[in-house]
Every structure is written in C-alpha cells, then in structure tokens.
Amino acid sequence: MKSSNDKESSASHPETLLTTLGRDPHNFHGFVNPPVVHASTVLYADADTFFSKNQTYSYARRGTPTSDALEQALTVLEGAAGTVLTPSGLSACSTAILSVVSAGDHLLVVDTIYQPTRHFCETVLKRMGVETTYYDPALGEDIASLFKPNTKAIFTEAPGSQTFEMQDIKAVTRAARNHDIFVLMDNTWATPLFFQPIKHGVDLSIQAGTKYIVGHSDVMLGTIAASERAWPLLQETHGNMGLCAGPDDIYLALRGLRTMGTRLKQHQTNALEMARWLEGHAEVARVLHPGLESNPGHELWKRDFTGASGLFGIILQPGSINAVKAFLDALTLYGMGYSWGGFESLAIYANPSSYRTATKWEAEGPLIRLHIGLEHFDDLKADLENGLKAYAAAR
Ligand SMILES: *Cc1c(COP(=O)(O)O)cnc(C)c1O
C-alpha cells in the first residue's frame, strides 16, 4: 500500500513512529488499535460503485484495513514508496527477485546470503532461465567487474547470514545505478530501525517479519518495501502471484512493531556485552559481530548502521562435533532451533563451508550462532560459561 502523506506527523523519531504509525483511533470509535478484518468478499453498495471500480477495497487478497495499517507503518519506517506483505520471509526474498528478473537475465547474489534464498536461485530461478553468480561480500564498487550486459539485479545482505560479514551497500548501489541494475537487500538483521536500505540507494528492502517485527516467535511473515522506480514492478508481481498474509498474523506484527524499538535496544545491549565477554574467553577463538571494534566490518557498520541486533556468531577453539554437542546440551536458557528475533535466546551450530561457492569459509573451529534474548544478562552469561566448560572438558 502506498504511503498516505495526509497525516504525516512532525514527531519523526523512530521510537515515536513505532507507537503512532498504522493506527487511527478516531476513525474507529476511539479504540487505540486498528480492527482485525477477517475477510474475502467485499460488497459494493450499488451497481454504479461496482462499475466505477473506485471503491477503496475490492477483494481481501488485494488489501484490507488491517494489511494497510502495517504496510503504511512500514512504508514510513523504510522511507519507501510502498510496501507489500508476504506469508514468510523467504517468500519476500523470492517475490522481490521475481519482481525484477525475467528469463535470460543475470542475477548477482552475495555469497553470504541466507541459504534458502540461494536454494531458490539454484532451483526455481535456474528453471526459469535466470543465471545466478555469487560474489564476495568484500567487493564494493568493484562488483561492477562482474556485470554482464544482461545483469538485472544484485541481491545483498549485510551482515551476511551466519558469518556476519559487512558489505559496502553504498558502493554497490553506486555501481549499480550507472548500469540501471536493481539492488535488493535482505535487511532482517538490522531492521529499518538500524539501517534504511532505500535511503542508501536500494530498490527493494526485505524483512523476514518473522524475526524482530513480530518478535515473539509465533508468526511467519515477510515484508518488501520499494523505491519509487521498483514499486510498480513489485506491486504487479506480488498481485499476480496472489500473495497475501493472514489478518491475525498481520495484527500480531503490528503489535510487535510497538515494542520493537525497546526490544531491539535490549537485544543490542545484551548481545554487544556478551560478544565482548566472549571475545576474551579462552574457549572462543573469534567473535563474529560487526559492532566489535576488532571486526573487519566494524568501520562500515559504524558508518552506515545506527545499531546492532541480538544475532552474532562465535568460533570456538578447535574441537570435535561431540564437543559441540556437549556445549549445546549443557545450555539451559538458549534453545536450539532455527529462526531468531523472538524474545528468547537461541544457539545453533552452523557450517557455512557446506554451501559457499564464491568465497572459502575457513575458521579455527566450529561456528555457533547465538541469538541473545531479553533474559537477564548475568543468567545468559552464566549459562554460556557452563556450556563452554562442557566444551573444554569434551574437546
Ligand atoms: C529467517 C530469515 C529469512 C526467512 O524468513 P522466514 O520467515 O523464516 O521465511 C530470510 N532472511 C534472513 C536473513 C533470515 O534470517
């Protein structure tokens, strides 16, 4: 839904926007929150209205007051021309790509991409005759050396999934602009609160809403916000593919948005403090967190991002898979499971060398991805300390 500028507020700090956007109490009997509209059919009052085709809502798949509320809020937060919702983060990635590529086109994808997005490129896109080349996230403006006459889009993600390498998004968008290439970004890690892709020249800004927007590990949702030039393409593809999200899920995402600023601040504080502590721990070889001064991506992160979320990686000292199992099984507060962005802490083992192609992943030992939740820092630290003791004993 396109942003309506008629009620633009002068209070534009993100924390304030999160509480005001996407609701209009005095248009709905004074109730603070917007209604959840469960719908398919929308009735027309009379035949004239039916033939005029200018009724605001025509069919629930094409939008409801509930989807409009979330889309309008995100459009303002992202600084976009418009936003659409999809049933999952992965469908947001695939829909964004399909909005800009056609058979015979070439797509550049960062080697540190979320693995299921890579799999989409290797299966569906390949079958549709779209060729994908993966590139080193360290390439800035030099990405132009990989451009072909048929290169149509670049899919970026920063920091990268599982290994957290930063990318110079500004340099990539600068290179792309000279060649009329679309730039897409999976910005799930930073959220529009800590990085605004469209303001940095990106055309399609993607969120797995499942993560921080929803924030409570109870909904699957994707969002795509578009620049002025990409918005008509996104609207057309999203509409033709028949994508929409359920009203209760959208409502929970809107509710999540209200506390996202507060939650992210706590995730950031807990995670940065944990990363610093882990950096000095004897069982940890390296910490993968762009907010740390020691991280190779720190300068880029500091230049472009206004914060860090709760997800980062650690490389343990060399040890066997059995030692990794001892570490994970010793944890009581960190759940072992995919996804992240909820209130709770998580720990999983990851092996990036199994799927990378453009770069080689080399690490001193096993990689653990941590999501630092909203529990008390001391409890989270003590739990990790226990896990690392178990690791030390088993390796
Ligand atoms: C989880 C995730 C997705 C996919 O989101 P789903 O809602 O699980 O489909 C996409 N990108 C990144 C970076 C993710 O972490």
* pLDDT, tens digit, 9 for 90 and up, residues 186-200: 999 999 999 999 999
The pLDDT tens digits for 315-353 are 999 999 999 999 999 999 999 999 999 999 999 999 999
| Statement: residue 9 has pLDDT above 60 | no
b/e map of 328-367 (b: 16 or more CB within 10 Å)? bebbebbeeeeebbbebbbbbebebeeebebbebebebbb
* Ligand 1: nearest atom to the Cα of 339: 1
Residue 160 DSSP label: P
Write down the pTM of the prediction: 0.96
Asked whether 380 lines ligand 1 (CB < 6 A), one says no
Asked whether 186 lines ligand 1 (CB < 6 A), one says yes
- Which one of 3.20.20.140, 3.40.718.10, 3.90.1150.10, 1.10.260.40 gives the CATH number of domain 261-394? 3.90.1150.10
Asked whether 231 lines ligand 1 (CB < 6 A), one says no
352: Cβ contacts below 8 Å, ≥ 6 apart: 112, 162, 163, 361, 367
Residue 116 DSSP label: H
**What is the pLDDT, as a whole number, of residue 130?**
98
Q: How far is ligand 1, taken at its centre, from the CA of residue 164, in Å?
A: 15
Tokens of 98: 């399909």
**What is the pLDDT, as a whole number, of residue 12?**
85
Asked whether 339 lines ligand 1 (CB < 6 A), one says yes
Confidence of residue 6 (pLDDT cuts 50, 70, 90): very low
Smallest CA separation from ligand 1 atom 4, residue: 89
Smallest CA separation from ligand 1 atom 1, residue: 339
**CATH 3.90.1150.10 residue spans of the chain:** 261-394
Distance CA 87, CA 89 (A): 7
Smallest CA-to-CA distance from 176 within 149, 136, 141, 227 is with 141
Q: How far is ligand 1, taken at its centre, from the CA of residue 94, in Å?
A: 11
Smallest CA separation from ligand 1 atom 6, residue: 89
Q: What is the CA radius of gyration of the chain?
A: 22
| Whether domain 5-256 has CATH 3.40.640.10 | yes
Confidence of residue 2 (pLDDT cuts 50, 70, 90): very low
**CATH 3.40.640.10 residue spans of the chain:** 5-256
For the chain, give the number of residues: 395
87 neighbors 222 (Cβ within 8 angstroms): yes
C-alpha torsion angle, residues 163, 344, 193, 211 (rounded to 10): 70
Smallest CA separation from ligand 1 atom 8, residue: 89
Asked whether 386 lines ligand 1 (CB < 6 A), one says no
